[in-house]
Amino acid sequence: MSTITPGPGNHGSRPSAHPPFGPRDNPRDTSSAAGPGGVPRRPATRAPAGSAVAGPGPASAEPRPPSFRAGPHGPGTLTAVPHADQSQTTQKDAAPVYPGPPRPVRVRPTPLAELAGQLGIEAPAATEEGAEATGITHDSRAVRPGDVYAALPGARVHGADFAAQAADLGAVAALTDPAGAERVAAAGLPALVVPDPRARMGALAATIYGEPGEDLLQIGITGTSGKTTTAYLMEGGLRAALAAERAPGAPNQAGGAELTGLIGTVETRIGDERIKSERTTPEATDLQALFAVMRERGVRSVAMEVSSHALVLGRVDGCVFDIAVFNNLSPEHLDFHPDMEDYYRTKAQLFTKARSRAAVINHDDEYGQRLARETQIPVTTFSAEGHPDADWRAAGVEISSLGSTFTALGPEGQSVRAAAPLPGTFNVANALAAITALVVAGIDPQTAADGVASVPGVPGRLERVDAGQAYLAVVDYAHKPDAVESVLRALRKVTDGKLHAVLGCGGDRDPHKRHAMGAALARLSDTAVLTSDNPRSEDPLAILAAMLAGAAEVPTHERGTVLVEEERAVAIAAAVARAEPGDTVVVAGKGHEQGQDIAGVVRAFDDRQVLREAIEAARQHPGHPYYASAAPSASRTQHHDDQG
């Protein structure tokens, strides 16, 4: 372990209420679920100003009536799904398990000729008379009888190379491009050939599953940071609204499910069922299937994260969100986007008439202000900083190590008692974003705020680890410079003693942020332990060298002690070894993740578990050589003040 020793120490008409939504009949929904019990009002928003933001899509989204039904229980639990395979669910008496996310049980078949017509092409000559589709997937391993297999071009191989496998599993046709047509035909599958199959896949999936999103209140959250937290807080508000709408004494429905949905980085929730997430936003085929399952089981509202990758890769094609939420924008994914302007323009696609019906935007963010000016959908703004120009604003903010309390002030004189169940001003912003979106959806402001406040926590987001120690220990997902700074500043405000932080940077990802992350950790921590995150195919020491270079550029009088330890478990133990009563230990970067990718091999590794074990071992065996070696010693200390 190496050490650097420290030196000294938008305007317009205000929102108006609209009549409540009523239930919508969908002839393609063959579910036996009963109609809604509690129904939100139409989005209460104000007219936008400024020029349009260009975005994809064939037509503007017209208002329609999503609905959700009541459920009796409080918001969800804290712990992330433990080591569950993506294909496994907790649903009892389920049908035989197939790879991939769940599918609806009842789907009305769609003639292949109808699908061809939607694509604007002739039905394939090889199509059997009366051939119909009952599902669609982009994964040849997950094909079920009756599926359309989306054989997409890839970076290394073409999906058409697996058409024979799809045919053997029961596919009835394949959606592909001209490059894949011959291979699909050779496998004996009718080919639906279009120039860009990925761009058509989402709408086709929505058709096959009977436009399931039309029967859900859909709220999409985007931004660089805070998507996961906001989604969890929003789901808590949706659950509270269901409980408030539920008629006293009404029987529970859907086997005890809460009848809300959540889709995001950590997990997917369908009522009470929880499924480990593979990515922040599922592929379009999986997403539409999830919507159909939600509808079938009685879910009537869903909060979901929408990544920039999802917008570029068409994962939310076929979706029209009732409300789109913009949290913030800061440098990230610049290995995927050429620059910040492209990153912004990608996010802005969600706020077009083709993608969403109403917008909730953070007024405190510079890009948010720009977006509010440019979008042509109705906008409601919020400000955790209390800016008077925002529609909803926070006042009287009080922050503690357990969370924050504040008053949410609305555009029509509303004053709502509110709380963020996580510390930090950025979580006040996340909570206010959730409350604002819920109000726009037609939920009573105090009900929304109470639901947000009752969420017990968010997996891997400032998640406390309590093993009886006399100091605060938390795990957080912060893996971007701005997020790291926000977390450290938030913890500093609630720490009486010293702040000990552990952080690494992921390999095969944007390398430009490593310098800034190392500098932030050195500047804002009393002990900054640089370690491995998921190095993937990169040399862990090369990643650490970039972080150390950033730390070394921080003037000696502004930085804490900097330790370098490649082994993450040893790094965590080093931070724990330095902690005293009143201090804070934070392990950042991986959050809820339960594995560490080193040279292509993923080994089990959960920061929360490792931190807990380190605390327990340090308390029980304070002289154990594991912890003694983790602490700095003169023989292992190296000075790097001349670097940078």
Q: pLDDT digits over 180-218, tens only?
A: 999 999 999 999 999 999 999 999 999 999 999 999 999
In a domain, 133, yes or no: yes
Q: Is 454 exposed, middle or buried (0-12, 13-18, 19+ CB in 10 A)?
A: middle
pLDDT > 90: what percent of the chain? 74
**Residue 54: HSE in the Cβ half-sphere, 13 Å Cα cutoff:** 1
Question: Where among 173, 208, 243 does a domain terminate?
Answer: 208
For residue 224, what is the domain's CATH number? 3.40.1190.10
Residue 75 scores a pLDDT above 60: no
End-to-end CA distance of the chain: 19
| CATH number of the CATH domain containing 594 | 3.90.190.20
Average pLDDT over residues 384-409: 96
Q: 235 and 202, same structural domain?
A: no
Residues 498 and 554 in one domain: yes
Q: Using alpha carbons only, what angle is made at residue 575 by residues 424 and 459, rounded to the nearest 5 degrees?
A: 45
Query: pLDDT value at position 47?
Result: 39
The domain that holds 161 is classified in CATH as 3.40.1390.10
One domain for residues 291 and 322: yes
The residue ranking higher by pLDDT, 636 or 438, is 438
Domains contained in the chain, number = 3
227-245 vs 445-453: helix crossing angle, rounded to 10: 120
Of 99, 135, 7, 90, nearest in space to 523 by CA: 7
Q: Last residue of a domain, which of 186, 208, 230?
A: 208
- Of the given ranges (37-41, 56-60, 165-169, 505-509), which has the lowest mean pLDDT? 37-41
Query: Same domain, yes or no, for 350 and 427?
Result: yes
In angstroms, the CA 569 to CA 411 distance is 49
Q: Which of 420, 453, 486 is the last residue of a domain?
A: 453
Task: Supply the pLDDT for residue 58.
Answer: 38
Predicted pLDDT of residue 6: 41
Residues 579 and 464 in one domain: yes
Residues 475 and 438 in one domain: no
Q: How many CA atoms lie within 13 A of 538 on its CB side?
A: 20
Residue 83 is predicted with a pLDDT of 31
If pLDDT is split at 50, 70 and 90, which confidence band does 4 have? very low
392 and 492 in a common domain: no
Q: What's the mean pLDDT in 279-284?
A: 94
Q: Which domain holds residue 153?
A: 110-208
Q: Average pLDDT of 138-163? A: 97
Residue 285 shares a structural domain with residue 325: yes
**Residue 179 and residue 225 in one domain:** no
Using a pLDDT cut of 70, give the percent of the chain over it.
80
More confident residue, 472 or 8: 472
Residues 202 and 223 in one domain: no
Interval 152-175 mean pLDDT: 97
- pLDDT of residue 440 exceeding 60, the answer is yes
Does residue 301 sit in the same domain as residue 348? yes
Confidence check: pLDDT of 485 > 60? yes
Given pLDDT bands bounded at 50, 70 and 90, which one contains residue 541?
Answer: very high
Confidence of residue 271 (pLDDT cuts 50, 70, 90): very high
Q: State mean pLDDT over 3-13.
A: 39
CA geometry: angle 70, 75, 76, nearest 5 deg: 120
Element (H, E) at 393: strand 392-399
Whether residue 323 is found in the same domain as residue 402 = yes
Q: How confident is the model at residue 129, as a pLDDT? A: 80
In a domain, 644, yes or no: no
Strands (DSSP E) along 188-242, which ranges?
191-193, 217-222
Q: Would you place residue 71 in the very low, low, confident or very high pLDDT band (cuts 50, 70, 90)?
A: very low
The whole-chain average pLDDT of the chain stands at 84
123 part of a folded domain:
yes
pTM for the predicted model, two decimal places: 0.80
Asked, for residue 194, whether it belongs to a domain, the answer is yes
- Whether 96 is in a domain gets the answer no
Over residues 611-636, mean pLDDT: 64
